[in-house]
Structure 1
Amino acid sequence: MTDGTAYAIKTGIADPCARSWTFTAQKTMYGGRYIAVGDRLFLFASENEGGVGLVARGVVTATEATPRLTGVQRQTPRVSVSVRRDAPALRRLGRADLKPFDDWNDGRPETELNFKFYRQATDKIVGLSTEAAAFLDGFF
């Protein structure tokens, strides 16, 4: 990792068992735009697209910022990333597991994940706290 920060992505993942993936022009929120080569990335297969939640952990092998459109004032930064899988998830963690954690001020890693991924259900790349990354590491 470049600066000790981990990231997570929630998006459609056609093959959760693949050795690598490329995700193009992904929306970023909560610091997700700072993702860089060498960073750790937790992959969630979006339930909105038939996925099951957490499926893998990987290492970012390439990133490229998507250029902003001219003439559009409010734009969410987007980035394309390539990821090499380093471990499959050994336990389930999805929307139903995180839904009960909705006290936004309790400081729990489960609440952070619920807030960042499911309060606004769009697919995205998000930055994670050290506590949330450690929590997710327990699934591998």
Structure 2
Amino acid sequence: MNRAQWQQIAEERLLAAKALLDAQIWSSAYYLAGYAVECGLKSCVLARIMSEPEIIFKERKFSDRCWTHDILQLVNLAGLEQVHDADRNASPSLDANWLVVEKWEEQARYQFKKQAEAEGLYTAITHPIDGVMQWIRARW
């Protein structure tokens, strides 16, 4: 998949998560909202590879490590860890949103989530100023 496709999937997963929230299907909304972040970050990983193609040769098994659902590992693979840390240190609300998003894991698809958890994750991702997806979009 290319960057545009990862971006499209990320946006579609956010729309689906919103529809599920509106339908009060909390667990699925939670899972898909987090999956949107994962897809957005995978687009960022591809952006790094496009600007720094030698990374696949400098870091042994780089491509193998890209097969992850771990949000912070994807931030690292995208080469964004320094800006990620700096931006979080500069903005308490962005940091708070990342703290919520970091708790998401792929295994959420097998878990029951409450309304507050689903809405909290969705808000942390979609906040118009300090949302995690806003941060990702600026870098994909």
Going by fraction, where is helix more abundant, 1 or 2? 2
Going by fraction, where is strand more abundant, 1 or 2? 1
